[in-house]
Structure 1
Amino acid sequence: MTALAVLDIAGTTVDERGAVYTALEGAVVAAGASPSTTDIQRWMGADKKEAITGLLEQGKGRVPNPSVVESAFTDFHARLDAAYRSRPPQPLPGVPEAIAALRAADIKVALTTGFDRSVVDGLLATLGWTTGVLDAVVCVDDVPAGRPAPYMIFRAMERTGVRAVADVVVAGDTRRDLEAGHNAGAGTVVGVLTGGYDATDLGAVRHTHLLPSVADLPELLGVPVSAATPGTSSVE
């Protein structure tokens, strides 16, 4: 029985039009690297500071100075903030209804993300997802390591009181999302095709299901979307 759905944010539940990866590329290019599209894609779903470090190391052939990483991370934040102000992120079609349906069926819903808390707070406020919509939100700076480590999933379980990982469904649009779900031992690991990977690339990673969207998750779990009612729990 599913007790908790752990969902990624960008590209999985939220359409931010790839702004995060445009900002990431711009920041590392400004810092002296020349990443390819494939290089950027390799870091999808990762801790963004870790991604910047990895891309700069690859581009310069040496471990970057921490001050350079911090400067590029600050630049990334500024670029992403500007992008979000210009074109505010929106929920992907059918996702709010799917989240409400899951919670109406007594399935808790948590978001996890490679963003740090300062980005996520503003993003959720823009979406109107600050209270009554989710049961928990776990950011990469809440745990010792980001994906593919399973720690954000375990922290979501801790915050929602779910004890059996077999009762957890993990869904995301990147390879790291699926790897984290597998590393956590989640009972259901779902790849969704609303992000930067197609079915061939995402399907190459260990998973239990591939779906067009998180909007299809209630049907997979036998939950009628028509049963959806607004939740009452607040985001932690």
Structure 2
Amino acid sequence: MGWVRDNFEHTWLHARLSVWTKKDFQMFSRRYSLKALAAAALVPTAARSAVSDAKIKPIRLVVLDVGGTLIEDHGEVPEAMHNALTKRGVDVGFAEIGEWRGASKRGMVRHFVELRKIAQPNREALIAAIYDDFSRQVNAAYADVRAIAGAQDCIRSLRAAGFLVATSTGFDRPLTDKVFAHLGWRDYFVATVTGDDVVDGRPSPFMLFHAMEAAHVDAVAEVVAVGDTPLDLQAGANAGLRGVIGVTSGAATEERLRKEPYTHILPSVAELPDLLRAKF
């Protein structure tokens, strides 16, 4: 069932997290490191049994990534990011950019500018100029973006089955709204969370918590997240979600995704409704 279950007794740890609310996890995160969370697995066996027997709630909310998960990914984002950065003297390779797939795009620009310690009298102006150039290129590339095969049927099937459906993405608000308007999806979701809506993007869990808040879902045991990048899976694990599902339709290979915490790996979201019926 995945790296987490194989290596950190995920079945018990998930049951412990399943009774937590969003507020519980946020309070815990402020006080303890992730190492402390892993160390919590060392409690007595009797206590584990009691928690494992806790009633598991049905899934209510499905949070879907956008690029590579719902819409086709042909490398437009790393190409635009590389062009915008190198044009202004920020030397960065595609491999480095690839490690940031799924992150806030504004955050990516800031990271690489600060990492290279570019000498500029106004660093914020440089970051803004690079991001504006990146946005212009991506908007042009996505003018005729297409949905992943089966994505629209997946969303409709989930809604028909009574699931709340939301999205989270490292794209900014204008691009996200443009993509959904182009595809006719503006009214499909209870929330569309972007990198503009939170202080920290992935692998922080904040976009997922923001989606939960918008959907009025209090328990992480009632939520699954789906994405195509390692950062998508890390964010889902950091949020303590019931399901952390990777898809191989986008940026990362199955081999790469299996190095991250996950519960399931699928070829694409087309298989998601069947998985939720069978496993959740």
- The alignment's TM-score, normalised by the length of structure 1, stands at 0.88
User: Structure 1 residues 216 and 166 mapped into 2: Cα distance closer, same or farther (>3 Å)?
Assistant: same
Alignment RMSD, CA only?
Answer: 1.5
Q: Which runs of 5+ in 1 are unaligned?
A: 224-236
1:187 aligns with: 242
The equivalences for 1:64-83 within 5 A come to 65-83=123-141
How far apart are residue 16 of structure 1 and its match? 4.2
Change over 3 Å in CA distance of 1:134–1:108 after alignment to 2:
same
* 8 Å CA contact 1:115, 1:140 repeated in 2: yes
Task: Determine the C-alpha separation between the residues in 2 that align with 1:98 and 1:124.
Answer: 15
Partner of 1:208: 263
Higher strand share: 1
Matches within 5 A, 1:54-203: 54-58=111-115, 60-62=116-118, 65-85=123-143, 88-131=144-187, 133-203=188-258
Q: Is the 8 A contact 2:80 2:134 kept in 1?
A: yes
Gaps of 5+ in 2: 1-57
CA offsets, 1:73-132, max 9 Å, x none? 0101111122123xx11110011111111111111110100011111111111111112x
Aligned-pair CA distance for 1:57 = 3.4
- Residue 137 of structure 1 deviates from its aligned partner by 0.5
Question: Is 1:41 paired with 2:98?
Answer: yes
Higher helix proportion (structure 1 or 2): 2
In structure 2, distance between residues paired with 1:55 and 1:202? 24
Kindly indicate whether residue 19 of structure 2 is the aligned counterpart of residue 19 of structure 1: no
Q: 1:7 is paired with a residue of what secondary structure?
A: strand
Aligned partner of 2:145: which letter? P
The answer as to whether partners of 2:73 and 2:250 remain within 8 angstroms in 1 is no
Q: Distance in 2 between matches of 1:52 and 1:46?
A: 10
Q: Aligned residues: percent identity?
A: 39
> TM-score scaled to structure 2, two decimals?
0.75
Q: Give the AA of the match of 2:183.
A: L
The 8 Å contact of residues 166 and 189 in structure 2, kept in 1 or not, is answered as yes
Report which stretch shifted further, 11-20 or 172-181.
Answer: 11-20
Partners of 1:47 and 1:147 within 8 A in 2: yes
